[in-house]
Amino acid sequence: MRIIAFTLLFSLWTLNAVSQSDTLQVSDTLVQNFKFKKPNRAALHSAIIPGWGQLTNAQAWKIPIVYAGLGTTTYFIIWNHNQYKRFRNAYRIRSDNNPNTKDEFDNPIDIKKPNYSTEAVLRLREDYRRNRDLSIILTAGFYALNVLDAYISAHLKDFDVSDNLSMNIRPDVNTFNNQQIIFGVKLAFNCR
């Protein structure tokens, strides 16, 4: 029953649109609302799945750049976090005051393995934590840049870049009611 009602409603709507095609008027606000919905849609697409907004804007060449940036920063988050955990565990083992426990960085005999003091382990732990946090901030910034790029590119899709664009810069002189003369510069943009 729903399918029949939907089909009937759709056919009446298309019949009405066809019969009034010569007198169909579209308001300016409707056109403006449609123009502003497309950039929002592209930004939403990019926010949901990175690169989808660029695909919506027909700029698929940007998608590998988006994923390379997000993949690289995510790799550094994971790597710095793993290094942070290694040095955190080593510092915990050294600060438990048990002489029988040894960490991986306490190797006074084996030259091939690193030998760090407790202060060096603590410093390296803090360095890797800071680098991990910085990588998280960079990933969030790259993600926001992805959304912003999709939004701005959608806005600029309708921008006129034809050869008929020109700009004139001329001196301008204005006179006000009290006979004061003001000199300035007049910018005129022309689209032919």
Chain segment 76-85, per-residue pLDDT in tens: 999 999 999 9
Q: What is the pLDDT at residue 13? A: 44
Q: What is the pLDDT at residue 47? A: 95
Q: What is the pLDDT of residues 143-156, one digit of tens each?
A: 999 999 999 999 88
Residue 96 maps to a domain: yes
Residue 19 maps to a domain: no
Q: What is the pTM for the complete model shown?
A: 0.63
Q: What is the pLDDT at residue 86? A: 93
Residue 147 maps to a domain: yes
Strand 165-175 relative to strand 181-191, pairing: antiparallel
Residue 100 maps to a domain: yes
Residue 36 maps to a domain: yes
Give me 174's structure tokens.
């204005």
Which residues are within 8 A (CB) of 191 and not within 5 positions of it... i.e. 6 or more apart? 160, 164, 165
> Structurally, how many domains does the chain consist of?
1
Helix (H) or strand (E) holding 171: strand 165-175
Structural domain harbouring 103: 31-159
Residue 124 maps to a domain: yes
Mean pLDDT confidence for 37-60? 91
Question: Would you say 192 and 164 are in contact if contact means Cβ atoms under 8 Å apart?
Answer: yes
* 43-52: long-range pairs with CB below 8 Å, 24+: 43/147, 43/148, 43/150, 43/151, 43/154, 45/150, 46/146, 46/147, 46/149, 46/150, 46/151, 47/147, 50/143, 50/146, 51/146, 52/150
Residue 16 maps to a domain: no
Reduced to 3 states (helix: H, G, I; strand: E, B; else coil), residue 179 is coil
How far is Cα of residue 180 from the mean position of the Cα atoms in its chain?
A: 50
Single out the residue of 70, 41, 68 nearest to residue 54, CA to CA.
41
